[in-house]
Amino acid sequence: MSSNDIAISVADLSKRYEIYDAPRDRLKQFLLPRLNRLVGLREKQFFNEYWALKDVSFEVRKGESVGILGRNGSGKSTLLQIVTGTLSPTSGVVTTQGRIAALLELGSGFNPEFTGRENVYLNGALLGFSKEQIDDKFDAIASFADIGRYLEQPVKTYSSGMMLRLAFAVQVQVEPDILIVDEALAVGDALFQKRCFQRIEKLLSDGTTVLFVSHDQESIRTLTNRALLLNKGKAMSWGLSSEVVLEYRRLLHEEESAYFSSLAKDLVERAQVSKESPPPISIDDAATEAVEVVDATNPLSARSERLSFGDGEVKVIQVETLDKEGNPCSMYYPGEKLSVRITCESKADVDRLNIGIRIRNKEGVKIYSWGTLNQDMRARFMKSDSPVFWERTFSSGERFQVILECACNLGVNLYEVQASASFEETPDYLNQHMLHWVDEAAFFQVTMRQNEYFFGGAVDLRMSATW
The 10s digit of each residue's pLDDT in 231-268 is: 989 999 999 888 898 888 888 777 766 665 565 555 55
Question: Smallest Cα–Cα separation from 423: which of 293, 341, 312, 338?
Answer: 312
3-state secondary structure of 311: coil
User: Which architecture characterizes domain 293-446 according to CATH?
Assistant: Distorted Sandwich (2.70)
Chain-centre distance of CA 331, in angstroms? 31
- pLDDT digit string, tens, across residues 146-163: 888 888 999 888 887 888
3-state class (DSSP) for residue 233: coil
Sequence spans of domains, the chain: 3-245, 293-446
The pLDDT confidence band at residue 100, using thresholds 50, 70 and 90, is: confident
Mean pLDDT of the chain: 82
User: For the purposes of burial, counting CB atoms within 10 Å of the CB of 85, is it exposed (0-12), middle (13-18) or buried (19 or more)?
Assistant: exposed
Residue pLDDT, tens place only, 401-444: 999 999 999 999 889 999 999 999 999 988 888 899 988 889 99
Please list, in sequence order, all residues whose beta carbon lies within 8 angstroms of the beta carbon of residue 74, skipping any fewer than 6 positions away.
230, 231, 232, 233
- Please state, in angstroms and rounded to a whole number, the distance separating the CA atoms of residues 393 and 353: 8
- State residue 195's pLDDT score: 77
Lowest-confidence pick of 33-42, 85-94, 275-284: 275-284
Please tell me the predicted confidence (pLDDT) of residue 350.
92
Task: Name which of 163-172, 295-304, 394-403 the model is least confident about.
Answer: 295-304
- Cα(87)–Cα(108) distance, integer angstroms: 14
Whole-number Å distance between alpha carbons of 443 and 340: 10
User: What's the maximum distance between 2 C-alpha atoms anywhere in the chain?
Assistant: 98
Intra-chain end-to-end CA distance of the chain, in Å: 59
d(CA 306, CA 278): 37
Q: How many CB atoms lie within 10 A of CB 156?
A: 12
Instruction: State if pTM tops 0.75.
Output: no
Q: Treating both helix axes as pointing N-terminal to C-terminal, what angle do 160-173 and 131-145 enclose, rounded to 10 degrees? A: 130
Phi, psi of 353 (to 5 degrees): -95, 155
Integer Cα distance of 108 and 167 in angstroms: 9
Q: Is the pLDDT of residue 274 over 60?
A: no
Is residue 283 a contact partner of residue 423, using CB atoms and an 8 Å limit? yes
Report the top-level CATH class of 3-245.
alpha beta
Q: Are 162 and 106 in contact (CB under 8 A)?
A: no
Smallest CA-to-CA distance from 30 within 15, 45, 52 is with 45
Backbone angles phi, psi at 203, to 5 degrees: -60, -40
CB 142 within 8 A of CB 105: no
Helix axes 116-126, 160-173, angle to 10 degrees: 40
